[in-house]
Amino acid sequence: MTELARTRPESFFADRFNVTRSLLERVLGSNLIGRADDADIYLEYRVNEELQLEEGTVKKASRHVSQGAGVRALSGTRTGYAHTDDISLQNLEEAARQARAIADRASTSGVVAVPSRGRPHDLYALAEPPLATDLARKLDLLRKVDGAARAADPRVTQVIVSLTSEEVVTLIATASGWTVGDVRPLTRLNVTAIAEERGKREIGAHGGGGRVALDFFLEDERWRRFAREAARQAVLKLRAVDAPAGTMTVVLGPGWPGILLHEAVGHGLEGDFNRKGTSAFAGRMGQKVASELVTVIDDGTIPNRRGSLNVDDEGTPTGRTVLIEKGILVGYMQDRLNARLMGMAATGNGRRESYAYPPMPRMTNTFMPAGEDDPEDIIKSVRRGLYAVSFGGGQVDITNGKFVFSASEAYLVEDGRVTSPVKGATLIGNGPEALTRVVRVGRDLKLDEGVGTCGKEGQSVPVGVGLPTIRIDDLTVGGTAV
Amino acid sequence: MNEDLLVGVLTRAVAKGATAADGYLIEESAFSAVVRLGDLETVTHARDARLSLRVFAGRASAAASTSDLSRESLERVVDEATSLAKVTAEDPHAGLPDPQDLIRGVPDLDLADASPDETPEAKIDVARRCEAAALESDPCITNSEGAEYYDRRARYVYATSHGFARGYATTTFGISVSPVAARNGEMQRDSWYSTARKRARVEDPVAVGRTAAARVVRRLGARKVKTVEVPVVFDPETAASLLRSIAGAASGPSLYRRASFLLDRLGTKVAAPAVTIVDDALIPAGLGSRPFDGEGLPTARTVLVREGVLESYLLDTYSARKLGMASTHHATRDGSGVSVSTSNLMLLPGRATPAELIGSVRRGLYVTELIGFGVNSVTGDYSRGAVGLWIENGELAYPVEEITVAGNLLEMFQAVDGVGADLVLRERTASPTLMIGRMVVAGN
């Protein structure tokens, strides 16, 4: 599949499907321009490879190809969307007619989309994308990870290692005459370890990746660290005590616990919910929604990160959007539709899972910049509380602002010291309030390892998060120890 | 014709050196319309096909899939899968099911609606009426995330390189609505839905809208409660999510990986005697019904838990061979190969009405929504965010939020203290109201 990486999207679709730029312009022109406020055609070709090692042998090897085109027409608040997995002129014309039907039922708003401009970034050009890497090298990596996880502790009884690699070629043509493509590599190495002792079993997992080459996992023996982390977490949990229940001080470790930002404020600051007035943050622009120690940024331009994009799925170059500055709400994340309807600028956050879905405002890499405190001092400042360093998933109810995220590795803090590990527990809070109780921010900002996938209205997209060590007072911890 | 396409692909795999192969072809078309605040917001038309393939080279295997059904692309997919299979390890348990076990006559489970399609306008109107009913129900309902009408037609074909090929068709119709209510600066959202294999069996959109309205209005004024250990009553929707966790732990892949809290528990008591859980693939017009599984094996009614005793796991051919058992015909094809899934999974009803169950609680929680992912499938440890109503002296007293419910799934099912009579197969997994004796509710 090396041909994907080396080609330009425009010639890729022209060669493979006879769909040229002028043909796209013709489909847009004859069907959509002048009849809608905005319109676009999105072409996608995706190859995905999954390799899995279990019980020390390669159990699963699979390769998947998916391709398709989505045609969208927008009029006022209306969206017509049609997609097909057969990229041909005839199907594009048919999709355009179907998408247009909705526009024909409405009068156009007269507010025409501002053309997307600006140069696409170049954030993840790889000499050799993982999909093109020799299979033997990838299998060798999996075997090494398996061996390292098993060697880490005799209590490890089961190890599952998987490597998924993907390459997506896209081409987006908009009614404003802007055609832009992107080639997006993405890879992830994941290790799951099961540990057993005296009839008790526990699970630990670690992984990472990004828009990177296979060598990423070899640098500084990153693969070995992943393996050891998964094993360590599984073994540690064997002696975990019941998590406490109730409201207490919580210290979040750096990196992946940044999922807090994603759930507590990120989703609530996506343009669609704010335009509709259904977000707990609606109408709060310019107001204080966090402590003055807190700044939150969404940045799709960090090289090689899992959540980064050269252009979003509407062709708008991604950017760095400050959402909260020193506690004050200052920005939303926008796609073209919601930016147009709110009279704001598109921020390069229009994303979709695949050609089968219309885009909507989504996060890229969401993080809190470093503060000034020594992380150790932050823990020392807590008399009784929870120190959480790793999490599973999270979820938020946009409208009432309540969010949860589930700790997979956490410890009690007693008199300023980290003591017993506790069983997994869900943390729950209220988005517009939780960050007002951030009282300490560490100087140790870390981005996550590259594992995040965000789901919204049935669409999954890769994202990143980042956080320094922080202390939040009065968060509810959902354990069983009353 | 599609059978031919699939069989052709499998024949090529064998010609390329595969010792056996099987494949699954899904073709679907879908329509969706979203109306928000009375105006049409989004209309989506979709047409998709996906062919997935599993290729064996002796006892080694590989999988591949594609949405590009052109001859050139299919040939490439076959060739890639066949060469991939040669690098995977030999696995004594890998292989197709015994051809003798494959389904012969495909039963008609009445899964497709034969009535003529309706116009987009008529479909949009269904969504419009549903949302309007919600908006008109109560003056507190001031906003909406919209109402959606959707329908989907699909055709499934399974074939093996031994020349077996069978197929069936399904249709799905549905509506859903998410009204937003506001009072004194507080804002809440809830939703309701109805879905069915037959258009005529979808509930009246006005009734669905009113139910959604009642659900959101009763959330207004929600507060937090103090941390306490109390009886917890799960409504049918949230109780169904507990069943999904049980099914996950009972599925072959979690068992042979020793990553399940139901490991080594076959034949033992895992729940209170009031609990019987059944997976029935043969319910006529059922949302989870299927005449055969993802490996062409005839489906049946499986009792997972009978009066509290774990009676069966959920297995495909591979996980069954790994565990030294027989497949329970629960294979499903997903993006990356073969896995296990339930069909119509139900906890069988008891005798109590929901009001009687709530009435038996002096102080406790009635759960109507759960959020988050706090379920550890290896240990059964359970901790999720909850929304619901507080029970005082057997009555629903006031709404609660920003709390969690926590326990351990094995202990929770052992502690089932009451099973409602209100089982309705609204989705492919369904439960009546379920009362659990004690759980920790964390709040202030």
Q: How many CA atoms lie within 13 A of B371 on its CB side?
A: 23
Evaluate whether residue B120 is within a structural domain.
no
What pLDDT does residue B154 have?
96
User: Do B93 and B67 have their domain in common?
Assistant: yes
Question: B84: which chain A residues are within 8 Å (Cβ-Cβ)?
Answer: 61-63, 135
Evaluate whether residue B196 is within a structural domain.
no
B65 in contact with chain A, both atoms CB, cutoff 8 A: yes
Q: Which residues in chain A show pLDDT less than 50?
A: 1-3, 5
- Identify the domain boundary among B101, B118, B147: B101
| Superfamily per CATH, domain A2-238 | PmbA/TldD superfamily (3.30.2290.10)
Domain range for B405: 228-241+349-442
User: Do B271 and B408 have their domain in common?
Assistant: no
- Identify the domain boundary among B284, B316, B346: B346
Element holding A265 (H helix, E strand): none
Q: What does the alpha-carbon distance between residue B224 and residue B247 come to, in Å, rounded to a whole number?
A: 32
User: Do B423 and B279 have their domain in common?
Assistant: no
- What's the domain count of chain B? 3
The dihedral through the CA atoms of A169, A60, B250, B384 has a sign that is: negative
Evaluate whether residue B172 is within a structural domain.
no
Q: Which residues in chain B show pLDDT less than 50?
A: none
Q: What does the alpha-carbon distance between residue B62 and residue B414 come to, in Å, rounded to a whole number?
A: 41
Which of B80, B379, B442 is opposite residue A479, by nearest beta carbon?
Answer: B442
Question: B385: which chain A residues are within 8 Å (Cβ-Cβ)?
Answer: 395, 402, 404, 426, 428, 478
What pLDDT does residue A115 have?
56
What pLDDT does residue A424 have?
87
B444 in contact with chain A, both atoms CB, cutoff 8 A: yes
Evaluate whether residue B255 is within a structural domain.
yes
Contact A397 B91 (CB under 8 A): no
User: Do B391 and B407 have their domain in common?
Assistant: yes
What pLDDT does residue A7 have?
66
Evaluate whether residue B216 is within a structural domain.
no
- Identify the domain boundary among B305, B326, B346: B346
User: Do B342 and B422 have their domain in common?
Assistant: no
Residue B371 burial by Cβ neighbours in a 10 Å radius (0-12, 13-18, 19+): buried
Evaluate whether residue B189 is within a structural domain.
no
What pLDDT does residue A225 have?
98
Q: Where are the domains of chain A?
A: 2-238, 245-478
Which of A192, A277, A396 is opposite residue B143, by nearest beta carbon?
Answer: A277
CA-derived radius of gyration, chain A = 24
What pLDDT does residue A76 have?
84
Task: Kindly state the percentage of chain A with pLDDT values over 90.
Answer: 79
Contact A356 B444 (CB under 8 A): no
**ipTM value greater than 0.90:** yes
What pLDDT does residue A282 have?
94
- The residue in chain A having the minimum alpha-carbon distance to the alpha carbon of residue B48 is A85
Q: Enter the pTM of the model.
A: 0.95
Inter-chain contacts counted by CB atoms under 8 A, chains A and B:
261
Q: Are A429 and A403 in contact (CB under 8 A)?
A: yes
pLDDT, tens only, B375-404: 999 999 999 999 999 999 999 999 999 999
Q: What does the alpha-carbon distance between residue A225 and residue A187 come to, in Å, rounded to a whole number?
A: 17
Contact B46 A194 (CB under 8 A): no
Q: What does the alpha-carbon distance between residue A387 and residue A244 come to, in Å, rounded to a whole number?
A: 12
User: Do B270 and B311 have their domain in common?
Assistant: yes
pLDDT, tens only, B156-171: 999 999 889 999 999 9
